[in-house]
Amino acid sequence: MKHTYHIHGMTCNGCRSHVEATLSKVEGVQNASVDLEKANAAIEMKTHIPIEKFQEALKKDGGNYSIHNMGEHHHDSEVKVKEKPKGKGTGTFYCPMHCEGDKTYDKPGDCPVCGMDLVEEQSISSGASHQWTCPMHPEIVRDEAGSCPICGMDLVPMQPDLSAEEKTYKKLLKKFWIAVAFTLPIFLMAMSEMIPNNPLYTLMEQKYWNWVQFALSIPVVFYATWMFFERAYRSIKTWNLNMFTLIGIGAGAAWLFSVFGMFFPDFFPQQFKTESGAVHVYFEAATVILTLVLLGQVLEARAHSKTNSAVKELLKLAPNKAILVKDGKEEEVMIDTIQKGDILRVKPGDKIPVDGIITEGQTTVDESMITGEPIPVNKSMNDKVSSGTINGNQSFLMKAEKVGSDTLLSQIIQMVNNASRSRAPIQKLADTVSGYFVPIVVLVSVITFVVWAIFGPEPVYVYAFVNAIAVLIIACPCALGLATPMSVMVGVGKGAQNGVLIKNAEALEKMDKVDTLIIDKTGTITEGKPTVEKVGAFGTDFSENEVLQYIVSLNKSSEHPLAEATVKYGKEQKIDFLDAKNFSAVTGKGVEGTINGKKVDLGNAKMMEYAKAKLTSEMETEAQAFQKQGKTVSYLSIDSKVAGYVVIGDKIKATSAKAIRELQDKGIAVIMLTGDNHDTAQAVAKELNLADFKAGMLPENKLQEVEKLQNSGKVVAMAGDGINDAPALAKSDVGIAMGTGTDVAIESAMITLVKGDLHGIVKARNLSDDVMKNIKQNLFFALAYNVLGIPIAAGVLFPVFGLLLSPMIAALAMSFSSVSVIMNSLRLRNVKI
């Protein structure tokens, strides 16, 4: 019987093959076939197997995938994500080639699909141990400084343990030197055969030197590089064929051939033997190949640690201590103990410990490490400050608002980690090629052996054997697999250092293709720091002071920037606030409520229409005079009668005009969509030299505009900062949130600009251009290397030039092909965006 089930949690071809292998192992299953696109599994079985058995098998496998009956509703929560251990660079590992999507592992090792060493993720926690120990008595560990209770010596801070990344590198390096120590004598013995009247043979016969080579090769094969054979065996067993499959077959064949030749020399024809009658052995080829592959792994491990250097630099920004002010006293405390609402003192030159607001004093703050902007920013009372930024030359008090993993710095690090593990659509090309790569290489190797055995010169089998091994060794699927993720990882880190936060790799790829940018006005083009310029009354029913009183009383319940501006102005004017009831916001129009039993509405002309309050032509004319200057006018109606208005100004950011011009020069059409009226929008568009704008746009209108442009074949990016922008941000090809905006907007976006500045969009475009160019270079190099290298190893140059590629040279080329892809990716660290 055959049943079809739904599979949840697969993101790539590696996931598909992993699920297929897991389901196939369930007792009673004859065949399991998994379809990635349809997200289902067709399972053939002799007798019915309960779905619970399959669920249990997937759960035991790590719980990253789940199986359900077709059509059955399921939730993401069913696939439980393991809680990641906290700590700097500890506990969470992932495959650098993302063979199984964003799957992570909780211990070091190698990827079950491609066999590469897992890379450790840098944790969002600062990870400082904050513990002290005695240099004489290491068993003494305390949470604070002091003296040793045994010998009285001052305790010293405990040194953090090496990261798993560093441990892997040191372990590989140790094995490499051991391999070199045993391989070098083997290599010299083999090469001595090229010396006339080989002096070694005067000491003892060649067959005895073969035994010496065999003895020296054992530590190389069975200790220093044994992991390659383990990975090769696992890859064949699970049929996840990879680079180590080829190395295992190639080097293993050379070594086993040599051992067999020593024990059973009479089995081989004369052409495999030397003048002394001993079989020609390839211990030097096997050990040199394995040692060079190990060298490649060492270099990769070192280079990998540089690809996530941006995260490490961000982690260094996280301070360990802070000065807590409690009951008028100051005390130094560990960062982990700070609670929301604590008052902290920040001294000149200190790092700001957590996110919060200044409650006393003023200063300048260097925010370059988060925004990428070198000029210090002036900060005074009620201004926000972020963890990791550096205080200038004045002391101030601040109130902690976001601590631990909620701080901006922690969120940036988490976003960079997540984006580094995501897969770009362009990687599908590499996945497709890699799926067929190893079987094709093995087939080419077999064909090479057959062709040389039939048409090659004497000794034909020796030539056939050596060239077949060279083909297996030179092929490098890893260079192809690393081409995209390495560039993405370095690019995402580069963006974070410049205040451009990338949510996933797809955002980078799509941003490169964007030809239309939609921008909001308030908070995107303008500073988003509105100020009240005038309050006016219509008629004699209410004075200007009463109009202001109703406006601020209603707005005190609103979070809109314009509302905050009026409330601030009301406090400055010492207005008495009235009690507002039944408050609610009408999206894209304004707010409403009840004050002193009267129905009060505040907002744009559409809000007045909603409140059934008639605007006269005189009222509109008076408002238009301000709107033509680029100001925003909100009307107030009391019991459905327009009573007055408030004029709010919002300065255009100094960088907006330049940024828009640069984007237009790159061939991107810039369109401004705003909920403001036509006259205000026109005044702003004129100042910025924007030909295309639309005013009076509600959230659904912005969404419709995005859909309309997409239907006409445009690739649309949308930049906004408010809740009303969230639908359009989510619908656009690339949503760009201003970091100064709401959490809803940031959640809906693929790219977040920390500074909330249009110049950040220019940076994001430049970054995506550079990353995509780098990925294409990597893919071209990896493909070209394999397309040229494999035929040369097979011996195509021999008939014309008499050139053959030694398997040892092939191993060197293969090792450096992966390293060169990583090194090319690392060039992104130096690009200027």
Q: With residue 132 as reference, give the H or E element that holds it.
A: strand 132-133
Strands (DSSP E) contained in 204-275 are none
Looking only at the bridges linking them, the beta strands covering 355-360 and 734-738 are unpaired
Element (H, E) at 813: helix 807-826
Q: How do beta strands 500-502 and 751-753 pair?
A: antiparallel
- The dihedral formed by the CA atoms of 620, 621, 624 and 629, expressed in degrees to the nearest 10: -160
Tokens of 411: 């969120």
CA gap 832, 105 in Å, rounded: 35
* Separation of CA 626 from chain center: 46
What's the CA gap between 75 and 359, in Å, rounded?
44
Q: What is the spatial distance between Cα 109 and Cα 527, in angstroms, rounded to a whole number?
A: 49
520 is catalytic: yes
Catalytic residue among 520, 601, 733, 770: 520
C-alpha separations of 744 from 471, 714, 729, 752, 764 in Å: 54, 25, 10, 12, 21
- Answer yes or no: are the C-beta atoms of 6 and 68 closer than 8 Å: yes
User: Residues near 56 by Cβ (< 8 Å), separated by ≥ 6?
Assistant: none
CA–CA gap between residue 13 and residue 420 (Å, rounded):
19
**751 phi, psi to nearest 5 deg:** -130, 135
Residue 602: both structure tokens together: 């505040």
Label residues 635-662 b or e (16+ Cβ within 10 Å = b).
Answer: bbbbeebbbbbbbbbbebbebbbebbeb
C-beta separation of 143 from 131 below 8 A: yes
Report yes or no: 104 and 93 within 8 Å, Cβ to Cβ: yes
Nearest of 393, 370, 365 to residue 380 by alpha carbon: 365
Cα of first residue to Cα of last residue in the chain, in angstroms, is 59
Q: At how many degrees (to 10) do helices 477-497 and 283-307 cross?
A: 20
CB under 8 Å to 173, separation ≥6 — which residues? 298
**Secondary structure string (H, E, C) spanning 104-118:** CECCCCECCCCCCEC
How far apart (Å, rounded) are the C-alpha atoms in residues 355 and 376?
17
The Cα–Cα gap between 714 and 57 comes to 46
Q: Any idea of the CA torsion for 368, 374, 380, 381, to the nearest 10 degrees?
A: -20
> 3-class SS at 786?
helix
CA distance 684 to 679: 9
Residue 284 is given by DSSP the state: H
* Number of residues assigned to the chain: 833
Three-class SS of residue 818? helix
Instruction: Calculate the CA dihedral of residues 807, 813, 819, 824 and round it to 10 degrees.
Output: -160
* 800 to 264, 444, 728: CA distances (angstroms): 37, 20, 63
Q: Which amino acid is at 599?
A: K
CB-based contacts of 176: which residues, under 8 Å, 6+ apart?
Answer: 224, 291, 294, 295, 298
Active site residues: 520
